[in-house]
Amino acid sequence: MAFLVTGGCGFIGSNFIRLLREREPSTRIVNLDALTYAGNPANLADLEGDVLYHFVHGDITDRSLVARTLTDHSIEAVFHLAAESHVDRSILDSTPFIATNVTGTQVLLDASRAHGVKRFVHVSTDEVYGSLGAEGFFTEQTPLAPNSPYAASKAGSDLLVRASHHTHGFPAIITRCSNNYGPYQFPEKLIPLVISNIEAGLAIPVYGDGLQVRDWIHVQDHAAGIYATYKHGVPGEVYNFGGRCERANIDLVKTLLQLMGRPESLIRYVADRPGHDRRYAIDCSKAEQELGWQVRVDFSEGLADTVRWYRANTGWIEKIRSGEYRRYYQSQYGHRGV
């Protein structure tokens, strides 16, 4: 018995593997990751020497590697997190998003079905539902209406997962979560970008009027939701996860400035993101009722902890900013370049 986690060197993947190790201490965990710009094995440095943890450097679009990994390690359950994940990058070039998020998911699904995987948890996003006005919430019944190339590629992957269950009876389940925050998040995303810019004394770019709303959830709560889906979810079903914590971007930025004792004069309003979704808010009552899951991390405590983590780990940010970790892993593993 072994688990395969894809994208385990990324933000949510590394936090999820740590939770999985705690919950399933005697099960082998295989992490398949291509080490794109967002993948950093240092995120799992604490697992070095764990004989039940195995890293495979490879791409989920590589059919033979995926098939070999499933067979060689007798994989019974797959947690699929590998993705191109940043909206702004998808606006500049959607090519890697289609390759990894759509084709990669198709390759993984087909190989997992051929291998006889017993549980496949596909980690998706609330962005597939599009954008909300001032009222209402996304439920699992909300029609898909993705607005960015990233969201469209994730919606494509969700539909492939849905079809694999409907057509082949493949035991796949989809999770859709709102915006995560916490340790090890790549500093291109809003919260770590703001914290690291404040630390470096740089200006903080706020897109448009800054009144877009996101529903924030601590990464540990999302990781617990992915695990609860594996344990209690029903194949073919979708489960939404969210933090019940809506914040306008500008308010969040001001809170971070306050927490870090820096002035609001660091804020710079910049051009808006094209096609910018206005508001996300998740109704996660299905996961609460059917999976016995609930949010545990209070937002103000989680945010303060996150600021402390980034302040205590300035070396982690520095290495990313300088490109040092990429140069090191490129020399160790080669790199597909993003």
Q: Compose the 66-95 pattern: x for residues touching ligand NAD by CB under 6 A, - for all others.
A: ---------------xxxxx----------
CB 41, CB 71: distance < 8 Å: no
Which segment (17-25, 136-144, 205-213, 293-301) binds ligand DAU by CB under 6 A? 205-213
Token pair, residue 302, equals: 């989680």
The residues, any chain, with a CB within 8 Å of residue 181's CB and separated by 6 or more, are: 191, 216, 217, 218, 219, 302, 303, 306
Q: Active site includes 126?
A: yes
Q: How many CA atoms lie within 13 A of 70 on its CB side?
A: 24
Q: Closest residue (Cβ) to ligand DAU?
A: 125
Among 3, 186, 239, 310, binds ligand NAD (CB under 6 A): 186
- Least distance from C-beta 1 to ligand DAU, angstroms? 30
Phi-psi region of 108 (alpha: psi -120 to 50; beta: other; left: phi over 0): alpha
Catalytic residue among 37, 53, 129, 150: 150
Which segment (55-63, 64-72, 229-237, 248-256) binds ligand NAD by CB under 6 A? 55-63
Q: Report the alpha-carbon distance of residue 67 to residue 139 in Å, rounded.
A: 35
Among 206, 245, 287, 307, binds ligand DAU (CB under 6 A): 206
Among 189, 218, 244, 326, binds ligand DAU (CB under 6 A): 189
Which segment (41-49, 201-209, 283-291, 318-326) binds ligand DAU by CB under 6 A? 201-209
Catalytic residue among 127, 158, 221, 277: 127
Pairing of strands 267-270, 204-207: parallel
Among 3, 4, 5, 9, binds ligand NAD (CB under 6 A): 9
CB 79, CB 15: distance < 8 Å: no
Q: Report the alpha-carbon distance of residue 24 to residue 269 in Å, rounded.
A: 46
CB 71, CB 95: distance < 8 Å: no
CA-to-CA dists, residue 252 to 93, 191, 241, angstroms: 28, 8, 20
Q: Report the catalytic residues.
A: 126-127, 150
- Which residues contribute to the site for ligand NAD (CB under 6 A)? 6-7, 9-13, 32-36, 38-39, 59-61, 81-85, 100, 104, 123, 125, 154, 177, 179-180, 186
Binding site for ligand DAU (CB under 6 A): 85-87, 125-127, 178-179, 189-190, 193, 205-207, 212, 214, 249, 273, 280
